[in-house]
Amino acid sequence: MSTQRGRRHSLLLRVLRAAAATAACVTAAAGPAPAQPARADYERALGLREAYQKAAVGIAGPATWIGKTGRFWYRRSVEGGHEFLVVDAATRARERAFDHDAVAAALGRATGGRYTGVTLPFQRIEFAEDGRRLEVRVEGTLYRCALAEPVSCEKVEPPAGAWGGPGFSCVASTADRPLVSPDGAWEAFVQNYNVAVRPRPAKEAPKTPDTVTLSTDGSEGQCYAPRSIVWSPDSTRIAAYRVTPGHRREVHYIESSPEDQLQPKHSTRFYAKPGDVLDIERPVLFHVPTARRIDVDSALFPHAFDMSPLVWRKDGRAVTFEYNQRGHQVYRVIEVSAETGAARAVVDERAATFFNYSGKKFRHDVDDGREVVWMSERDGWNHLYLYDGATGTVRQQITSGSWPVREVLKVDEQARRIWFTASGVRDGVDPYFLDAYRIDFDGGHLVRLTEGDLNHAVSLSDDGQWLVDTASRVDVAPTMTLRRGEDGEAVAELERGDLGPLRRAGWRPPEVFVAKGRDGATDIWGVIYRPSTYDAAKQYPVIENIYAGPQSAFVPKSFSAYNPMQAQAELGFIVVQIDGMGTAHRSKAFHDVAWKNLKDAGLPDRILWHQAQARRDPSYDITRVGIYGTSAGGQSSLGALLFHPEFYKVAVSAVGCHDNRMDKIWWNEQWMGWPIGPHYAESSNVVNASRLEGRVLLVVGELDTNVDPSSTMQVANALIKANKTFDLLVIPGAGHGPGGAYGERKRFDFFVQHLLGAVPPDWNSAP
C-alpha cells in the first residue's frame, strides 16, 4: 500500500471509528456493538462466496437420469470449479460426462465467453438419449453441442412467443406448421382463422391438394388457435379451441441506456393483470370424413382462467382437457364424447379458498382414463386419491395423515404402485425435510425409501428399479447413495462430502431455530447466519431476508457451502430467514392464511419467532431489526414497515409487486382471488404508503418484465405525496432482481447506515 493510500485508509478508519463511537452512544442501552464495517470488511464479505466455494471440494449435487436409460449424471465440486459425472446404476461404473475442455472451447467460440473445463457456465445438462448431443443454457440462452470430434456448439433460437397471459394465442407464428394426421394421410391447419384439412401431398406429386374448410365462423375476433389442433388416434376426428380474444394489455418500457446506440429505445410486452378480460376458449370437434362439426356445451367450463391442451383418449372415444375456473376455486378434468360432444366432469375439485394448481396439482390417467390418480388438499393435507374415471367418484384415498405429499415420482399401472416424496411424516423431524416413499393404489404397504434426520433430494429411474438419494442438511454435507427402488436398500455410497476444509476456511454453519406461531401451537422454522467474527458478548442488529410467496417455502433445508445471507451477516449483523404462515408445504390451514391477504406475509409469526430467539440469545438485538426481499419479498419487506412499524425499522425492497392489481394475473389472482375487491387495496403498499415510519430503500430495474416497474414508481409517488423520506435506486437496463452487484452493495450500505449507525465507506474515493 502506498503512503498516500495508507493515509487515506487511516483517515477512513478514523472516520468510521468516530461514527462507531457515536452509534455506540446511541445504542449503549442495548449493550456493546460489533466493530463498524470498513472497506476491508466489505471486501471480506464479498469474498466469502469464492473462499467457501473454493474450500468445498467433493460436494455432489442431485442426480438426473438420462432419459429411460439406467444411467444418470450429477455435478460435483472440484478444485477450481465443478465437473459433470455419469454413473451406470447396474455396474456402478463412473466417468466424466463429456470432454469438459472441448465443450468449454466450443462454447467459448459460440458465445464469445472464456471458459475452462472446470468453469463451465451452466449447472444442468440434457443429453439426447444416444449421448451424442448435449443441451445447456448459458445466461438463459439454449445451446446445443455435438460431442463428436470436433466438438461444436450452436445457439438454439427460441420459438416465437405468445402473449403474456393464460390460454392459446390467435396470433399466427412462423413456428406453426400443418399438423399431420397419425396415419400420414391428412394435414390440418388454420386458414383465414378457420380449421381446414387437405390430403397430404405426395413427395413425387407436390401440386397443392384440395383444401376442405371444416369451420366457417373464424375471424379476427373469434379464431381457431393454430397450436390447439389435435388429431384423434384413428385420424378421423379433430379437436381444436375456438378463441374469442380478451384484452391485450401492454406494459411499456424505455431502455434509457442501450449498449448499441446513444438514443433510448421503446418496447412493449403483452402482460395480463388481475381483473383483465381474458380469452374465451371453447372446444369444437370435427369429423373429417363427413366434415361434420360437433359443438360442446360450455356449462361445465363457463368462466375459464385457463384451459389445458386438448388430449384424445388412446382409443379415440373422447377428448379431455382441464378447466381452471377464474378465481382458482373450481378445477375440473373434463371428458368430451367424440360422437356426441357431451361433456362430463371426471374430476370436480372445489376449494373454499384456493386450489393451488401451480404447485399441488397432479393427475395420472390409468388404463386410458378408466381410473385417475389425483392430488387434493380436501381433507386438510395434500394427498393422493384414486378416482373411478367412468363415474367421477373417489374409489380410494391412497395416502392419508397429518402430512403432505410433495411430489409424485412414478405411477406404475401394472404393479399398481406409486413412488412419491412427502414431508412431516415422522415425528420429531423438521416437517419440511423430504423423504421418498412407495405405496400401493389401495393405500397399503407404505414403505419409506430414505433414512436419517436429513433432507433428501431423490431421483428415481424410469423403471423404478433405482433411486439416487442425495441427503444433507444446512449443517451436514451431502451424501449420495444409490438405493433400490423397491425397498430403499442402500446399494452403493457414491459420494460423501467433507466439511473440514470449509470449517478451516472460517465457515460457520447456519443454525436452525423453531418457535411457536401466532396460534401458540404451530411450529415456525427458520435459520440463523452469524458473521465469522461473531462475539457472543456483543449485540448485533438483526436482518431478515423475506420471501413469503405462497407458492412454496423458502428457508434452506439442504447443504450449501455459501448463501448470500452470509455476506450480509459478515458486516456485523445476524441474518435470518423464516417460513411464516401463508407459505406452502404444511397443512391447508397453514397455507390459507395468505388467502386474499398477501399483506400478512406471515409477519405476526415472524415477529414472535424473533422475540423467542432474542429471549434465548442476548446478542440478538431486536431493537434494531431490518428486512429485505425481492419481488414478492419486495412487497413483504416494505409491508413489514407499513403494517408492523413497532418492530421492523429498516427495509430494502427490490422490484416489489407492491399492489397486486399491478402485477401479473396468474400469480396474484391465484392468491388474492377474483373478482377484484377491496382486499386488493387493503394489501397494497401504494394505498398504505402514508403509514411509513422507518427507513426504506426501493430498488427497481427499468426493464423488469416480471413485475411491472411502475409498481415501484407508484409507491415512490405515494410516498412523495405523503411527504415521506425514502431512498430510490433505479438501475438502467436492469431486469427483475435485487440490482446485481451494485444493488447488493447499496443494500449493505443502507443497513450499515441505518441499523449499525455507521458511515459506509466512501466508494467514490480510491481505496
Task: Say what the pLDDT of residue 174 is.
Answer: 58
Task: Say what the pLDDT of residue 26 is.
Answer: 36
Task: Say what the pLDDT of residue 540 is.
Answer: 98
Whole-number average pLDDT of the chain? 93
Check if the beta carbon of residue 738 is closer than 8 Å to that of residue 729.
Answer: no
Give pLDDT tens digits for 704-750: 999 999 999 999 999 999 999 999 999 999 999 999 999 999 999 99
**At CB < 8 A and 24+ separation, what contacts does 429-435 make?**
429/453, 430/455, 430/512, 430/525, 430/557, 431/403, 431/523, 431/525, 431/585, 431/586, 432/525, 432/553, 432/555, 432/557, 432/579, 432/585, 433/557, 434/406, 434/458, 434/557
Nearest residue to 422 (alpha-carbon basis) of 442, 400, 444, 440:
400
Task: Say what the pLDDT of residue 129 is.
Answer: 65
Q: Which three cell numbers stand for residue 487?
A: 425397498
Please determine, for residue 70, whether its predicted confidence score (pLDDT) is greater than 70. yes
Task: Say what the pLDDT of residue 12 is.
Answer: 35
Q: Region 526-548: what's the mean pLDDT?
A: 97
Give me the DSSP letters along 636-696: HHHHHHHH-TTT--EEEEES---STTTS-HHHHHHHH-SS--HHHHHT-TTTTGGG--SEE
Angle at the Cα of 442 from the Cα atoms of 438 and 446, rounded to 5 degrees:
30
Task: Say what the pLDDT of residue 37 is.
Answer: 83
Q: Region 113-134: what's the mean pLDDT?
A: 92
Give pLDDT tens digits for 136-152: 999 999 999 999 999 99
Task: Say what the pLDDT of residue 130 is.
Answer: 75
Nearest residue to 617 (alpha-carbon basis) of 667, 677, 574, 558:
574
Give pLDDT tens digits for 100-122: 999 999 999 999 999 999 999 99
**Which helix H or strand E contains 237, and what residues bound it?**
strand 237-244
Q: Rounded to whole angstroms, how far apart are CA atoms 227 and 238?
A: 12
Task: Say what the pLDDT of residue 4 is.
Answer: 38
Q: Rounded to whole angstroms, how far apart are CA atoms 130 and 470?
A: 26
Q: Region 435-441: what's the mean pLDDT?
A: 98
Q: Which residues pair with 407 in a beta bridge?
A: 421
Give pLDDT tens digits for 173-196: 656 789 999 999 999 999 999 999
Architecture of domain 3-54+502-754: 3-Layer(aba) Sandwich (3.40)
Q: Which residues pair with 154 in a beta bridge?
A: 144
Per mean pLDDT, which range of 335-339, 355-359, 428-432, 598-602 is the poorest?
355-359
Give pLDDT tens digits for 611-661: 999 999 999 999 999 999 999 999 999 999 999 999 999 999 999 999 999
Please determine, for residue 34, whether its predicted confidence score (pLDDT) is greater than 80. no
Helix (H, G, I), strand (E, B) or coil at 405: strand
Q: Region 662-668: what's the mean pLDDT?
A: 98
Task: Say what the pLDDT of residue 203 is.
Answer: 67
Contacts of 682 (CB under 8 A, 6+ apart): 597, 599
Please determine, for residue 412, whether its predicted confidence score (pLDDT) is greater than 90. yes
Task: Say what the pLDDT of residue 560 is.
Answer: 97
Please determine, for residue 2, whether its predicted confidence score (pLDDT) is greater than 70. no
Give pLDDT tens digits for 341-368: 999 999 999 999 999 998 899 999 999 9
Q: Rounded to whole angstroms, how far apart are CA atoms 656 and 637?
A: 9
User: Phi and psi dihedrals of 742, rounded to 5?
Assistant: -70, -40
Please determine, for residue 697, whether its predicted confidence score (pLDDT) is greater than 50. yes
Q: Which three cell numbers stand for residue 23?
A: 452509534
Task: Say what the pLDDT of residue 18 is.
Answer: 39
What's the residue count for the chain?
767
Q: Which three cell numbers stand for residue 109?
A: 467460440
Q: Rounded to whole angstroms, how far apart are CA atoms 165 and 163?
A: 6
Q: Would you list the domain boundaries of the chain?
A: 3-54+502-754
Assign 591 a pLDDT band (cuts: 50, 70, 90): very high
In this structure, the strands spanning 490-496 and 476-484 are antiparallel
Please determine, for residue 11, whether its predicted confidence score (pLDDT) is greater than 70. no
- CA distances to 429, 464, 485, 629 from 411, in Å: 27, 9, 13, 38
Please determine, for residue 288, whether its predicted confidence score (pLDDT) is greater than 70. yes
Please determine, for residue 28, whether its predicted confidence score (pLDDT) is greater than 70. no
Check if the beta carbon of residue 122 is closer than 8 Å to that of residue 64.
Answer: no
